[in-house]
Chains A and B, each alone.
Chain A
Amino acid sequence: MTTSPLLEAKALSKHFGGLQAVQGVDMTVAAGEVVGLIGPNGAGKTTLFNMLAGSMAPSAGQLFLEGEDCTGANAHQMAQRGLARTFQITSVFAGLSVWDNVFAATYRHQHANWLWAFFQSRSYQAEQAQMQQRTEDALRSVNLLHRRHDSAQTLPYGEQRKLEIAIALACAPRLLLLDEPAAGMNPEEGVKLVQLIRGLREQGMAVLLVEHHMRVVMGVCDRVVVINSGEKIAQGTPQEVVQHPEVVRVYLGREAVHA
């Protein structure tokens, strides 16, 4: 790729006391690219993921978003710059309706303050209409529009996962970080997820996903980065990575990551 990457990590490291969780990882994600992050359990994927998302500060290394240094930026700052993420354990606004859950995520695109709202100014009303449209579109893309008045906590697990994605989409991010999005999904839902991610890629979004479901990884990733014991051991197309001797060695004999 000759285009400069959207997200670039240089020598990112994290240690907790004596434990080195991530060591000197370089990686990039470009616009319109889907990158998979795989590795055995405990390899440091989650720590790396959290550093990229801003919810954990790196001990060393640098992070660039669209060429701008945002090392050490925290979660909401990264979000303001156009990054959205989902969580490994389903995370929604439990007490709010599905609609309100997603509407809340349009936060960074709203600029009207309370005073304009008080006087129902035209710019406020226009903005509200825009946000409603965004919310509707996000819900429609995960097929949850019909549930918009239901309370988020009444949703079954699979739909809560979809709600999470809708929340992330409503942020209109340029970079989407997905943490095990296919976990707990049946094969049919997995296929829909792959279609959704492909659609996002076509729109020019950069996507990074941590995943154990190899079928999803193979099916949608343009590139795969493999982490083991905090270090990057391989990267390349899914086909290349699967045949990489180091990767094979790491996964050999262990409970194979299920497809």
Chain B
Amino acid sequence: MHAVATGLLLLPLAMGNDYVLHMLTLWALYSLLALSLNIVVGFLGELSFGHAAFFGVGAYTSALLVMTWHWPLWLAPLSGAGLAALLGWLIGYVSLRIVGPQFAILTLGFGAIVLTITNYWVDVTRGPMGLSQIPAFALPSWGWDFSQARHMYPLALLLLGVVLYGCHVLQHSRQGRAFVAVRENPELAASVGINVFRTKLLGFVVATALAGFTGALYAHYLRVITPDVMSLTYMSAMLIMVVIGGKGSLYGPVLGALLYTFLLEALRSTGAWRMVVFAALLITCVVFLPSGLVSLWRRRKEATT
């Protein structure tokens, strides 16, 4: 099963259509981002509206470290992830104590602050104009330039595979089981020995680190980054991917990212209406299919066994 899927995914490389490869690379990167949000929304069950900020922090940090402070390229994305994780720790530490809709509003507020700072700290971030000419990863001796889709796609796919495996392991690990226990019944979780707050914080930090890392990959691939990536639009897009795909599942976010990337592109000619379509899909899924599209496939599988 996995071999077939991998084969199918690698096929476009043989066909060499750069446009399709670019779309697929974006899909892979968005999948990583959606998987990171899934840890918070799906595994922990916390509705965070500030996640886009960590994506942006990772992107900007990595780009700036390389461009302004001349850090080596291989170190920058890890540092981007690190700073995003640190910020995630700070924000998580103060926010995760709050339950209910106030958590969503609080994270929304934090996200908005990060966006505002990025927009107005023009000296460092160049404000709304963003950063461009970001150096790409490259291995010149092998002729690999990772700002080209045909080189970036396999790398992104590989990373996606690794992260998917990591999430799979997480689901069965001690910490992963603690995450969902906390989501389902915090009081009961505490009574079996789980430190609820520390568990939530751990999940939050892991998620923000992954988001930051993905942000860095995104920045060095597209070579352009603007504060837009931290906007409510991007945040909504992320939520749409996770919720429509299937929150709390392994492949749900990947499926959601696929739907988002390709449907968005397919509907490009309809302009603003395409977001209306997604909004309608979001509502439909939230109301009628709370476990996302992935659950349809799962139901079919159960019906045939």
Interface residues of chain A, those whose CB is within 8 Å of chain B, are: 53, 55, 74-76, 79-80, 84-85, 87, 91-96, 100, 103-105, 107-108, 110-114, 117-118, 128, 167, 170-171
Contacts and interface: CB of A to CB of B under 8 A. Distances in A.
B191 A79 contact: yes
A92 B183 CA distance: 12
Given A85-B191, A113-B175, A104 B181 contact: yes
Interface in B153-187: 165-166, 169-170, 172-178, 180-181, 183-185, 187
Contacts of B193: 76, 79-80, 107-108, 171
A49 to B, nearest CB: 12
Contacts of B192: 79, 84, 104-105, 107-108, 167, 170-171
Residue of A113, A114, A167 ringed by the most chain B CB atoms within 10 A: A114
Interface residues of B, number: 26
A103 B177 contact: yes
Nearest to A177: B191
Contact of B196 (A76, A113, A170): A76
B189 interface: yes
11 contacts: A76-B195, A76-B196, A79-B192, A79-B194, A87-B187, A93-B188, A95-B183, A96-B181, A107-B181, A110-B174, A118-B169
Contacts of B183: 95
B187 A93 contact: no
A84 B191 contact: yes
B177 A100 contact: yes
A186 B190 CA distance: 30
A118 B166 CA distance: 6
Given A76-B195, A93-B185, A117-B172, A104 B190 contact: no
B191 A75 contact: yes
Nearest to B45: A95
A114 B175 contact: yes
A225 to B, nearest CB: 22
A116 to B, nearest CB: 9
Interface of B: 165-166, 169-170, 172-178, 180-181, 183-185, 187-196
B184 A107 contact: no
Contacts of A118: 165-166, 169
Contacts of A104: 177-178, 180-181, 189, 192
Contacts of B165: 118
B187 A92 contact: no
B180 A107 contact: no
A107 B169 contact: no
A107 B180 CA distance: 12
Contacts of B185: 91-94
B172 A96 contact: no
Residue of A79, A113, A128, A171 ringed by the most chain B CB atoms within 10 A: A79
Residue of B184, B189, B192, B195 ringed by the most chain A CB atoms within 10 A: B192
A128 B166 CA distance: 17
Contact of B177 (A85, A95, A107): A107
A183 B172 CA distance: 34
A154 B169 CA distance: 27
Contact of B187 (A55, A95, A103, A114): A55
Q: Which 7 A-B pairs have the closest CB atoms?
A: A108-B193, A79-B193, A93-B184, A75-B190, A110-B174, A76-B190, A117-B173
Contacts of A85: 191
Given A76-B193, A79-B192, A107-B193, A114 B170 contact: yes
A105 B180 CA distance: 12
